[in-house]
Amino acid sequence: MEPLIKVKKPVRTKSGVTPLTVVLAPRKCNHGTCIYCPGGEFVPQSYTNKSPAVMRALALNFDVKKQAESRLNSLIKMGHPTEKIELIIIGGTFLQYPLDYQYGYVKGCYDVLNGVESETLLEAQKTNETAKHRIVAMCIENRPDNCSVEEIKRMREFGATRVEIGVQILDDEIYKKIGRGHTIKDVIEASKRLKDAGFKMGYHIMPGLPYSNIEKDIEKFRMVFNDESFRPDQLKIYPCQIVEDSPLAKAYKKINYRTYTDEEIKKVLTNMMEIIPDYCRVMRVMREIPKEKMIGNAGLTSIRKEVEDELKKNNTFVREIRMREIGFNRNGLKLDTKLKIIEYDSSGGKEFFLEIVNSENVLFGLLRLRFPKEVIFPELKNCAIVRELHVYGQSLNLHEKGKDSQHTGLGKYLMGEAEKITRESRYKKLAVISGIGVREYYRKLGYKLEGTYMIKNI
Ligand code: SF4
């Protein structure tokens, strides 16, 4: 399928939906500050005043409605489709902000995309189900120790479908020394609860932290996938950097710390890329922090590309999702697609990873089906749960007809397969963690809204 309209920076929408990022007002995290983390006082925690999204938010005084409006207008101007939006909330730990701020913040985003102000969040969501700009997915950055059942329930009330948690390295000693304020146990519990609630979940991983080394980084990373207590759906890999205004900028000399060289980063990344299984997507490698804000080696932003090129040159088979997506593999695309299913244990439950791939393993669409470990909310009793349905390719608007993946019925086919697997199990129902803006789609497939999930008797 070729893009139907000419877009600037098409890579932004190659994965099927158009991201719209809003930034939180500055606020320090409750536990203190992790050693590598800048910001918090005048700039949102973990960002600098030179990050593009933060600069835009600063100019608008962090007013969420103004941010959402201005981003939406720029996306339209740049020619991106804006009918299917993924709302991404960044900066600090959202779940720790005052409750009225959290609810008001999310409602503000729905109101802007709806083009009308609603009385309540629920009303705004109802309006968004059929609005011109629908929120089809919502991502919140969070800490592993802010994922209690009550907090997860709140994220569902907001309409969130994806949560990214800071994991960095699975090592309690290092957590203590760098001031993370949580333990591996928190990561295990957060992973289980989030998956059982149907969230798509990502880990942030940080090689090169103080008190670690290359061997330890790789060993601990292996654990992320070898141990079924972890196994995230996606990763962001941010090698540790010394950023101005972070505690590390003050302490690095005293603790005799230095950042990895580019060669060391490449070595760690190459090893990590070889470990990552088919069901995981590497969302990003290296943070976008301007060089002038950093002390020591800043790390090349092109490192990912260099590592991937090197792996390809050596015929190393990289299985992670992003490298296999159709949007990035357009030349001479073979359409001999088939369904592939990978089953694996994950956080006490069972996962089925359904993929539509061609003979070269290029990915056209995927579905994540889970048999949960525990029933986390009453409406999920007797339910298997679809945590993600994603058809890849250039993002299209809702009325546009696609040629080879989006809007060609692959989504419906994958849902049918998930229903088949569920029917053969002890589960009587299938639930979907649907973004508010996708509810209509599931209604057409016979699903009904129960609590915040779309559910069908199987
Ligand atoms: S939890 Fe995240 S945002 Fe908060 S201090 Fe640590 S790294 Fe920064």
Could you report the per-residue pLDDT of 116-133, keeping only the tens digit for each?
999 999 999 999 999 999
Candidates 149, 19, 36; CA nearest to 74 is 19
**Position 337 pLDDT exceeds 50:** yes
**Ligand 1 centroid distance, CA of 25 (Å):** 14
**Ligand 1 centroid distance, CA of 457 (Å):** 42
CA 308 → CA 57, 269, 318, 323, 328, distances in Å?
33, 9, 8, 9, 13
- 34 CB near ligand 1 (under 6 Å): yes
**Ligand 1 centroid distance, CA of 248 (Å):** 13
Q: Which of 81-95, 137-151, 321-335, 391-405 has the lowest mean pLDDT?
A: 391-405
pLDDT digits (tens, 9 = 90+) for 179-236: 999 999 999 999 999 999 999 999 999 999 999 999 999 999 999 999 999 999 999 9
Please return the burial class of 420, using the count of CB atoms within 10 Å of its CB with bins 0-12, 13-18 and 19+: exposed
Candidates 226, 331, 222; CA nearest to 272 is 222
**Position 3 pLDDT exceeds 60:** no
pLDDT digits (tens, 9 = 90+) for 233-244: 999 999 999 999
- 243 CB near ligand 1 (under 6 Å): no
**Ligand 1 centroid distance, CA of 66 (Å):** 25
Ligand 1: which residue has its CA nearest to atom 3? 92
**Ligand 1 centroid distance, CA of 178 (Å):** 11
Q: CA-to-CA distance for 414 and 421, rounded, in angstroms?
A: 11
What pLDDT, on a 0 to 100 scale, did the predictor assign at position 247?
Answer: 96
What pLDDT, on a 0 to 100 scale, did the predictor assign at position 4?
Answer: 26
| Overall pTM > 0.75 | yes
**Position 400 pLDDT exceeds 60:** no
Ligand 1: which residue has its CA nearest to atom 4? 29
- 93 CB near ligand 1 (under 6 Å): yes
Q: CA-to-CA distance for 157 and 106, rounded, in angstroms?
A: 10
Average pLDDT over residues 389-399: 63
pLDDT digits (tens, 9 = 90+) for 409-443: 889 999 999 999 999 999 999 999 999 999 999 99
Average pLDDT over residues 300-307: 86
> Domain extents for the chain?
1-142, 326-457
Residue 150: partners with Cβ closer than 8 Å, 6 or more residues away: none
Please return the burial class of 416, using the count of CB atoms within 10 Å of its CB with bins 0-12, 13-18 and 19+: exposed
- 46 CB near ligand 1 (under 6 Å): yes
* CATH number listed for the domain at residues 326-457: 3.40.630.30
Q: What are the φ and ψ backbone dihedral angles of 317, each rounded to 5 degrees?
A: -80, 110
**Ligand 1 centroid distance, CA of 244 (Å):** 15
Mutate to test the pocket of ligand 1, among 30, 31, 45, 176 (most ligand atoms within 8 A of CB): 45
